[in-house]
Amino acid sequence: MSVSRKFSVVHESWPIAGSFSISRGTKTTAEVIKVTLEQDGAIGVGESVPYARYGETIEATLTAMEAVRAEIESGCTRAEVPKILHMHAAQNALDCALWDLEAKLTGTPVWQLAGLEQPPQPIITAYTLSLETPEKMAQAAADASQRPLLKIKLGGDGDHERLRAIRAAAPDTRLIIDANEGWAPADLDNHLAVCAETAVELIEQPLPAGDDDALQGLGKINVLICADESAHAKEDLHKLAGKYTAINVKLDKTGGLTEALALAGAGREQGFEIMIGCMLATSLAMAPGHIIGQQACVVDLDGPLLLARDRDPGILFEGSVMHPPPPELWG
C-alpha cells in the first residue's frame, strides 16, 4: 500500500543564555535541524544537532536529507532510516519524527510503542557548568548549589583548581565531570586523586577516544568512568570492557531513539551503567531522551535550561526536575 507523506527539514538557531564552553571551543547559539512529517492528518517532528566532532555540519545534513526526500515521502520506516542516511544527526531527526508520527497516527504514546511498562515519570537532570576560570566556575556553582546534581565541563590545565573551587562553593551537591577528551594519559592518576578528594561520582570521557588504554583496569575504583566519544553503537561495547563502567547514550551519536534503545539495552546486559546525554538543543531534542532516562543512573538532559528561550510548548523543568514531554511537543 502506497503512503502519501509530506517531508520538510529546516535549520534553526536558538540563542544560548550567555555562552557555553567546553575543551573544544565556545558557542553562543544552538544550531539544530528540525524534521516534520505529515501523513493522514497527523504530524510527527524530530530534532537533532549535527556532531561537529565527527565532521557533521548543518549544510551537509540538510543536503543528505534532501537527497532522500523521495524515499522519506514514499513511506520509509524506522528500520530503513540507517540504510538511506549515513549521517547520525540526519538519522536521529528522521527516526524521532517517525516515532512521533506513529504515536500520532495510532493514538499510542511513544513510551508504549517503546515497550516501557509504565508511563514515564519525572526525573532529575544534571545541570551543566560551562568551562571557565576556577573563580567563575565557583561562582556558577554557588549560584546553582541548590541543584542536586552538577555536571562540570573540564579541559586539562587548571582542572584541579576548578574542582576544588567548585566543591567549596557547592559542598552538598553531587558532582559529575566531563573532560571531553581533554586529559592526557600521563596526568590521569593526578586527576583521579583530585576527583576522589572532591567526591566526584562520574568522569565522562577523560581521555581521547583513540588513546584511552590507560583506563584499562580502572573498573574497581569508586567512581564511574563513562564512555562518550568512545561509545556510539552496541557494536562498540566489546572495546569498552575493562576501561569503562558506564556509557553515555546520546541520540545524535546513535542515530535516533531506535538505536539508543538498542544500545542502552545491550549496555545493561553487559554490565554497564547507563547515562543519557544530550547536545545543546531544545525540548524537542530532549523529549526522546526522557524515554531512555527512565532506566538511566545519570540523566543529563539540561539543554533547554542553557538556552535563552525554548519551544512552546516545551518540557516543564522545576529546578532540576524534568517532567515528561507534553504530547503536543512530541511522543
Task: Point out the residues that are catalytic.
Answer: 153, 250
Q: How far apart are CA 77 and CA 68, in angstroms?
A: 13
For cell 553515555, the residue is: 248
| CA 74 vs CA 89, 103, 105: distances in Å | 21, 19, 16
Name residue 35's beta-bridge partners: 9, 46
What Rg value do the Cα atoms of the chain yield, rounded?
20
Comparing C-alpha atoms, which of 152, 150, 120, 149 is closest to residue 287? 120
275 - beta bridge partners?
248, 298
d(CA 157, CA 88): 32
Contact 14, 32 (CB under 8 A): yes
